[in-house]
Amino acid sequence: MLQPSLLELGDPPGPRSLAGSILRHELGRGAFLDLRRAFLAGATELFEALVSQVTWREERRPMYDRVVAVPRLVSFYGPGRALPDPRLEAARALLERHYRRELGEPLATAGLCLYRDGRDSVAWHGDTIGRGASEDTLVAICSLGATRRFLLRPRGGGPSLAFDLAAGDLLVMGGSCQRTFEHAVPKTCRPVGPRISLQFRPAGVR
């Protein structure tokens, strides 16, 4: 059992303020990435609550000559479905308020992924399904549990940016980011514990 950090002791569990604490990276081509470290207070306890309370599904997909297990566990909360913890609802409300100008619509869905260890991963992709090729959208990701590397690179090739996402960190991809960039969480040989990624998106975006 991990001890909460000293930093966490002063704040009630749940989302912290976003004002003035976000580091924005302008990526070019109309894309930006915001990073807010330690956005969720009480991340250790929230991680453990979600691991045990969420109904995690293992997905399988045909891949060439066989059917493989998708290398992570997932759970999806569509529009109108209550999130599994009030702290997630609070985080969503805070994000909707802070990004109301860029967003213009609710963050109607929440996707949860559980990366059990370094062998779990997600390949390069953009969250563009369901949106026109010219439409911007915004995706907010909260990280809980073990620190994992998050990679971002321009579509069509180019140098990739790396962000090590630690427990409680918030990463927001906005503007044209989902169309002009793609992201991944690569496998690693390092010993690494489980991590949960919470992804808030507008309806229709996957």
What residues line the site for DNA (CB under 7 A)?
A: 61-64, 68-71, 121-126, 128-130, 149, 151, 160, 162, 186-190
Q: What is the sign of the dihedral through the CA atoms of 59, 149, 171 and 83? A: positive
- Shortest Å distance, C-beta 148 to DNA: 11
- Shortest Å distance, C-beta 191 to DNA: 9
The residue among 84 and 204 lying less far from DNA, judged by its C-beta, is: 204
The residue among 87 and 148 lying less far from DNA, judged by its C-beta, is: 148
- Shortest Å distance, C-beta 203 to DNA: 15
- Shortest Å distance, C-beta 72 to DNA: 8
Quick one: tokens of 131? 């949106």
- Shortest Å distance, C-beta 184 to DNA: 8
**Do 67 and 60 contact (CB within 8 A), yes or no?**
yes
- Shortest Å distance, C-beta 117 to DNA: 12
CA 44 – CA 193 distance, rounded (Å):
13
Sequential DSSP letters for the chain: -PPPPHHHHTS-SEEPP-TTTPEEEEEETTEEEEEETT-EETHHHHHHHHHHHS--EEEEEEETTEEEEEEEEEEEE-TTPPPSSHHHHHHHHHHHHHTHHHH-S---EEEEEEE-STT--EEEE-S-TTS-TT----EEEEEEES-EEEEEEETTS-PPEEEEEPTT-EEEEEETHHHHEEEEE---SS----EEEEEEE-TT--
